């Protein structure tokens, strides 16, 4: 991952294993008090161009890290009586995933689930878009979304899917203590089996002059409405 926000947040995350950090000299001098006890290598700007490509806003710092994505939702913390969880059903754009993670963290949502297939592994683009929030949200990749939903229902979660044909009112969901929000891929939306597993299908009211919202924008609206801050 690269960029000051992402790397410094990773350093503060006790669950994050950082192998090595590469810095421009000026960046190291600026941040050296926060980089103590870490394996640091001073490099030139050419290093970043070769490593991540030209034109990327790396801010003179890059870290080699181990992923914090979980492989099982049982590793998540479900002890809270009031809980919100997000499932992204085959959203593939790292920028969108990162932006949704950032919005989730902003509104107190600390758990997010991705399908193991057809979604990217943790990567620099997700971390950059999340702007440090990747370290604030528990993220698990699961092999079967439908089975995961059934498990969450047994944990007393209600399941609400975002659907253009939805009839349920978003404002009514705040009365439930435990809610799962499912956001499908742009264009196709949720898959059929995912849709059939929902207790509610919700639609965000927007102008009839606009067909739909970007997935990350829609997520921000829903998260704000269900905020548990």
How many distinct helices (H) and strands (E) make up the chain?
8, 9
- Nearest in space to 194 (alpha carbons), one of 133, 148, 229: 148
54-75: average pLDDT = 90
Calpha distance 115→104 (Å, rounded): 18
Calpha distance 195→95 (Å, rounded): 24
User: Does 111 score more than 70 pLDDT?
Assistant: yes
Tell me what pLDDT residue 229 has.
56
Strand 111-115 and strand 61-65: pairing?
A: unpaired
Percent of the chain with pLDDT over 90: 73
Tell me what pLDDT residue 201 has.
95
67-92: average pLDDT = 93
User: Does 227 score more than 90 pLDDT?
Assistant: no
Average confidence score pLDDT of the chain: 91
User: Does 29 score more than 90 pLDDT?
Assistant: yes
Per-residue tokens: 27: 């960046």
How does residue 210 score in pLDDT terms, banded at 50, 70 and 90?
confident
In tens, the pLDDT along 139-167 reads: 999 999 999 999 999 999 999 999 988 88
Domains (range + CATH), the chain: 4-65 (3.30.1330.30), 73-225 (3.40.1280.10)
90-110: average pLDDT = 94
Per-residue tokens: 219: 């997520």
Residue that wins the pLDDT comparison between 62 and 225? 62
Tell me what pLDDT residue 37 has.
85
């Amino acid at each position: 991952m690269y960029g000051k926000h992402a790397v410094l947040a990773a350093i503060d995350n006790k669950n994050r294993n950082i192998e090595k950090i590469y810095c421009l000299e000026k960046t190291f001098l600026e941040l050296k008090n926060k980089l103590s006890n870490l394996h640091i290598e001073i490099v030139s700007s050419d290093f970043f161009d070769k490593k991540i490509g030209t034109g990327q806003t790396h801010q003179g710092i890059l870290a080699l890290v181990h992923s914090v994505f979980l492989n099982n939702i049982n590793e998540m913390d479900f002890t809270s009586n009031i809980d919100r969880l997000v499932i992204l059903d085959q959203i593939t754009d790292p920028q969108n995933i990162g932006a949704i993670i950032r919005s989730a963290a902003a509104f107190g949502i600390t758990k997010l689930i991705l399908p193991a297939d057809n979604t990217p592994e943790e990567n620099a683009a997700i971390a950059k878009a999340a702007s440090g929030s990747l370290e604030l949200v528990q993220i698990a990749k699961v092999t079967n979304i439908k089975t995961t939903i059934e498990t969450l229902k047994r944990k007393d979660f209600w399941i609400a899917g975002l659907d253009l044909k939805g009839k349920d009112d978003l404002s009514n969901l705040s009365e439930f203590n435990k809610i799962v929000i499912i956001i499908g891929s742009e264009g196709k939306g949720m898959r059929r089996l995912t849709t059939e597993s929902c207790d509610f299908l919700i639609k965000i009211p927007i102008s009839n002059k606009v067909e739909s919202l970007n997935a990350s924008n829609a997520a921000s609206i829903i998260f704000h409405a269900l905020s548990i801050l």
